[in-house]
Each structure stands twice: as structure tokens, then as C-alpha cells.
Amino acid sequence: MIIEKEYPCKEGNNYNKSYFNIMIENSTSVYLKNKKHLLFTFCKDSFDNKKYFPIFQKCSNTPILTSQNRKIASKGTGGKRTPTGIMGFFDRLTPQHKNLLGGINEGARETLFNRKCKKQWDEILPLYQEIDKIYKKIAPHCYKKSKEEYNKIHENLRIPKTTFTTITLNRNWRTSTHTDKGDFSKGLSCIVCLGNNKYTGGYLGFPKQKVLVKMEPGDIIFMDSHQPHCNTELNIKKGGSRISLVCYIREDMKKYHNLVEIEGKKFYLTKEDKKRFDKNHNLR
């Protein structure tokens, strides 16, 4: 399918189901600009939700996977912590990390989830590897670019046997219109939907194109995450659970190849910052 027309939309806005002109319900690829730009490839019923959902249900309900940093995507929450968090590896330091490193402001690290929940991480790793195989099959050109980027990154900052570094997990959360920041610009990000049958809505919308994807548990979409996207109304019933996983490469991750350790924590820095760290700690 080719989409020629685009519409104005605003980051931070919510767009309900009635706003969209086109509903995608089956496996489809959608292009922009006369098939020169892939907006997304949607893959219906592509993995075993019944197998993986219970695993994520157990590990997702933790304060570690909440955040106050998704300001645009969480517009309307009043600054409260939202049920979204990261797994895998990340190329941003917290204020506490910067203080610990003596004022070094840039670096990469293992996420808190991976450090605190290693057993759960090992249990869910096979799904990411399964997703990667699908990515290679359905979008080989984009996959090749992602693999080239992945190979530039320190091996300890890569999710094994994938082309991903980072996973964002959202649980029972409707995102407002946003574009993803810091993701690899030449590849595709992936969204996976898991859940039970005790919720309705939460479809994935592209308001600039007025295209809506009826994502349900077991579905995968490979998409240009730098295009504005959002979720429609989400109605969670008692005991309901909808989980989305966003799998991607952090674009700055390849800058950090120099390991330092302090107070039991590992960080990866640039060569210059590693020298600063060693000098500050009288290391040779």
C-alpha cells in the first residue's frame, strides 16, 4: 500500500480511533512517497503470545519498569510515573551515574532491570531473538543496515543474537503522539504486542498519514519510529493486561567502547572520558 497524502498532527495530542481513515488488520507493508520510503511492515500472528505473555506478565509489574521521563508520550498524566521502562542497554547516564563518575556526562550502561532481574531477562531473551529472525526475513535491506550498526557496538552492549540494544516495555499505557528520539535512523524499530483478552483498543496509529494498525497479542510491526505515532483509546478490564515491547538500536551506543568499573557498576565511555576517569582515580 502507498500513502500519498499527509495531514498535520501535533506531538502530545491523543487521536481516537474515529480520527483515522485507514484501518490495517492483516499483514501489510505501507510505503510513503511512491514506494521510496517504508513506513511500516505489519506481521499478523507472528509469535506465540500464549508462550511469552505469562513470562512478561510476571516480570513487568515492577517499579523498575516505570518512568517520569516520557514527557511527550505521557502527556496528560500530571507528571506521575508511567508504566514504561527500559531493558537491555542504554546510552544515557542518570544524575547519580554522572556524580559517581566524577562529572563525566556521557556513557553507556546495562539497565537496572538487567542488573536486578537477570533471571527474568534470560527467560525473555528468546523472544527478542525470534523477532530478529522475522526482521531479517521480511525487511532484509533495513536489517542489513541495522546489523552493520549493531556490529559497531561493544559486544557487552548488544542483545545477543539480535540487532537490538534496547527494549522499552509499556504496560496498560496509552501513548500520546510522539516520535522516538535517539534510535538508529537508518533501520527499523519493532513493536511487539502481548496480552490477554481482558482489554480493548490500544491500536497503533500514524496520525500524519491517518493510518491505524489493529495490533493485537501475537502481532509484530517493523516501523519508522521517527514518524509520529500513538495509541488509540485503551480500555483495561479487571485483570486485563496489554504489554507492548519496542525493540531498537540506540544510535549513540557505538561511541562507547571503554569499560570502567566503580562501586560494582560497569560503564562504557569514550576514549577521552576513560582517560579523565583514570586520571581522577589515579589509575594507570
* Residue % of the chain over a pLDDT of 90: 76
Confidence of residue 58 (pLDDT cuts 50, 70, 90): confident
Average pLDDT, integer, range 228-251: 94
In this prediction, residue 156 carries a pLDDT of: 97
pTM: 0.90
Q: Write a three-state SS string for the chain.
A: CEECCCCCCCCCCCCCHHHCCEEECCCEEEEECCCCEEEEEEECCCCCHHHHHHHHHHHHCCHHHCECCCCCCCCCCCCCCECEEEEEEECCCCHHHHHHCCCCCCCEEECHHHHHCHHHHHHHHHHHHHHHHHHHHHCHHHHHHHHHHHCCCCHHHCCCCCCCCEEEEEECCCCCCECCCCECCCCCEEEEEEECCCEEECCEEECCCCEEECCCCCCEEEECCCCCEEECCEEECCCCCEEEEEEECECCHHHCCEEEEECCEEEEECHHHHHHHHHHCCCC
pLDDT at 129 over 70: yes
Higher per-residue confidence, 61 vs 214: 214
CA 123 to chain centre: 18
Task: Choose from 76-85, 113-122, 199-208 the range with maximum mean pLDDT.
Answer: 199-208
Return the pLDDT at 73: 47
- What is the per-residue pLDDT for 236? 93
**Mean per-residue pLDDT for 9-20?**
94
**pLDDT band at 139, cuts 50/70/90?**
very high
Average pLDDT over residues 52-59: 88
CATH of residue 169 = 3.60.130.30
pLDDT of residue 173: 87
Question: pLDDT value at position 100?
Answer: 92
**Does residue 77 register a pLDDT over 60?**
no
Average pLDDT over residues 124-133: 95
Per-residue model confidence as pLDDT tens digits over 78-109: 556 687 899 999 999 999 999 999 989 999 99
Looking at the predicted structure, is the pLDDT value of residue 71 above 60?
A: no
| Domain total in the chain | 1
CA distance 136 to 82: 32
What is the H or E stretch that residue 49 is in? helix 49-60
pLDDT of residue 117: 87
Of the pLDDT bands very low, low, confident and very high (cuts 50, 70, 90), residue 267 is: very high
Pinpoint the alpha helices (H) of 61-200: 95-100, 112-116, 118-138, 140-150
Domain containing 220 equals 2-280
pLDDT score, position 84 = 83
Computed over every residue of the chain, the mean pLDDT equals 90
> Which DSSP symbol is given to 178?
B
Residue holding cell 523472544?
Answer: 127
**How far is CA 281 from each of CA 94, 104, 246, rounded to the nearest angstrom?**
20, 13, 38
